[in-house]
Amino acid sequence: MSEENTNKDLNNNVKSGMVEATVKAKLAPKKRRNRVRDGRVPLHKQKKVEIEQEPGFVYRVVVDYGSSGERLRKFAKAGWIHINKYGKTVDAAQASQEGALATVSVGGGDIGYYMRIPEQYYVEDQEDKQSRNDILMGQIGLLKSVPKDQQRGTVKIDYT
């Protein structure tokens, strides 16, 4: 078939709307088959934390990168407490069973430990962090409400 005949066929198909219909059919979203699986729950509908949470505490997963324990010690020093899968306090040093501490695999061989802190300590820490950030933002001129005695710094431009 020559190129001229092919172009004529294409032009005829375009005029008749055949090509447009073919393109629409290819671009149309595929219909999903309605499959029913016993007990299937999509990931986005599953509860992320399977720990019973007690009011008055803030919970998080602390990852022990490289299994050195240093990061866990820092969190413990700051008031964070290890918990078991029932949300109850567990002394990490006294944990006799491997399953006593609530953990989750976070990939790469690292383990995340569920920990909690009393909400009042968490709020105090966040307020302290925010006040330090406000001072820093004021020093770089992003906040205008920094007191004069906390405004420091100099800028030196050397044109040599």
pLDDT computed for residue 47 by the predictor: 60
Residues 106 and 63: beta-carbon distance below 8 Å = yes
Q: What is the pLDDT of residues 79-124, one digit of tens each?
A: 999 888 777 887 766 655 545 888 888 888 888 889 999 999 999 9
52-88 pLDDT tens trace: 788 999 999 999 887 788 898 999 999 999 888 777 8
More confident residue, 21 or 57: 57
Is residue 111 within 8 A of residue 104, CB to CB? The reply is: yes
**Rg of the chain, C-alpha, whole Å:** 31
pLDDT > 70 in the chain, percent: 62
pTM listed for this prediction:
0.53
Cα–Cα distances (Å) from 16 to 1, 24, 114, in that order, read 21, 14, 65
